[in-house]
Chain A
């Protein structure tokens, strides 16, 4: 087993590969994270995403085009709970620079920003057009999507796992993965597939008396309220898992989120803010 750990996309990334000679594959997978980050980071003025957000209409490369399409599909499928146009709501909540700097200096706007902006994706001309007043943020999907891409590179060398700050993609064999709960750590054995966790327990900051965090509820334009602290869910890909975890987290009610996980047959662990742990989606 070979292992590599590094920082990318503002988080810790780990690569595991069941192979003895995999230096090249590990390097390729790590490079993919840095390459995608340079294209899609909203904190880098020269990234393709930043240029699109400035110009509002632009011909884009295949990565940005695909992520925009996936994000809009996810918005439709989640009934608007997942939304790639939360950029200005994040900025209004104080998350206007990389997270290491936010906690110390966040300034919260008096009014939340609007979400659910109109985005036109023209595949034939590779063009994206944004509604005036809206910008794109792929913070809710890009890590999982990149984990899937890195896994595709790694699994050529054998069974592999990619952990991008909690968004996990795996292939080739069963992998034991820890999930934190108030009652202690649960180990899930994941055999072929992915899982992701979304919640308000990290990437949070205080501004005066108000607690802020990074998961925006598009219906209010503000950090989500509700009884859930954290949701971990399983799906076929890390992209799907990341979107579904966020979508379930944005259910205000834990029981409703558990019912949705059951309906989707998505094995899920829900942790509430008052310290309860619920298993759903066939997990027992």
Chain B
């Protein structure tokens, strides 16, 4: 075997080694740890978002006039017979 062929084998082995290392890293051999951390982070963010939404609703309730929150009922005097009657309760 000439030195040239030895160098070729070594280079091929190096490429193969690099490929196996890349494949190993890409396969995420530590998924359990990372996903649980990400899950906790997502849960915390969801809770934070929910709290912000509740705060925003409270701020709207406190600052927006009630008349803007819901339309005023429409009412007019008509000549129809009444279905029911209001009286002092």
- The answer to whether the Cβ of B83 comes within 8 Å of any Cβ in the partner chain is yes
- The answer to whether the Cβ of A191 comes within 8 Å of any Cβ in the partner chain is yes
| Bound Cα distance A224, B67 (Å) | 29
- Chain B residues contacting A163 (CB-CB under 8 Å) are 84-86
Contact flag A161-B73 (CB < 8 Å), given A167-B89, A198-B88, A199-B88: no
- Chain B residues contacting A168 (CB-CB under 8 Å) are 84, 86
Whether A166 lies near B81 (C-beta < 8 A) is no
Whether A189 lies near B81 (C-beta < 8 A) is no
Write out, one digit per residue, whether chain A residues 199-219 have a CB within 8 A of any chain B CB (1) or not (0): 111110000000000000000
The range of chain B's interface size is: 20 to 34
- The answer to whether the Cβ of B5 comes within 8 Å of any Cβ in the partner chain is no
Whether B86 lies near A197 (C-beta < 8 A) is yes
| Bound Cα distance A144, B85 (Å) | 15
- Chain A residues contacting B78 (CB-CB under 8 Å) are 176, 187-189
A166: contacting residue among B70, B77, B83, B88, CB under 8 A:
B88
Q: How far is the CB of B9 from chain A (nearest CB, A)?
A: 75
B82: contacting residue among A177, A192, A203, CB under 8 A:
A177
Contact flag A232-B79 (CB < 8 Å), given A194-B73, A265-B67: no
> Which B residues form the contact surface with A (CB < 8 A)?
66-67, 70-89
> Which A residues form the contact surface with B (CB < 8 A)?
11, 14, 16, 143-144, 161, 163-168, 174-180, 185-203, 230, 232, 234-236, 242, 265, 267, 283-284
